[in-house]
Amino acid sequence: MVRGNGESMRLVVFCLITLLSAAACTEWPNLNGTWGWSCGCPSGAFTNLTLTASAGTVVGNGTDCALGNLCYPLTIAGQQSWNTFSLTLRDSSGVYATYSGSLDGDQLAGTWSQGATSVSVTMTRE
């Protein structure tokens, strides 16, 4: 069956509307909330991040405690692109660390970089 230009154009428009509608109904992965990591070591080191994401922009605050009571308050700014994220964490003296990775349900898995050191860190939603 041969279709005319008008019918072909209607089919293309229908397909585009269907695809766009499906994309609009897909829920953006939820980065919002409080996330935590603990080393499980004798020093008791832990990190907590509270994040709010909207339209790809991430903001928040947190605390990084290295040894006992040696804790640093952090401010956080970054980007989220679907299930991936990139965060810059700052303390009172400037850039403290970066954390980039992916979101999978109630876990953030990525690379924590601080100075010349980079380690794999998985945080869980609290």
- Residue spans of the domains in the chain: they are 33-125
* Percent of all residues in the chain with a pLDDT value above 90, rounded to a whole number: 64
pLDDT in tens, 86-118: 999 999 989 899 999 999 999 999 999 999 999
Residue 14 or residue 47, greater confidence: 47
Reported confidence tier of residue 39, pLDDT bands at 50, 70, 90 = confident
Q: What phi, psi does 43 have (nearest 5°)?
A: -70, -20
C-alpha span between 44 and 87 (Å, rounded): 24
pTM: 0.77
CATH number of 33-125: 2.40.128.120
C-alpha span between 125 and 112 (Å, rounded): 17
Residue 114 Cα distances to 18, 117, 120, angstroms: 45, 5, 12
Q: How many residues does the chain have?
A: 126
Q: What is the mean pLDDT of residues 12-23?
A: 45
Type of residue at 2: V
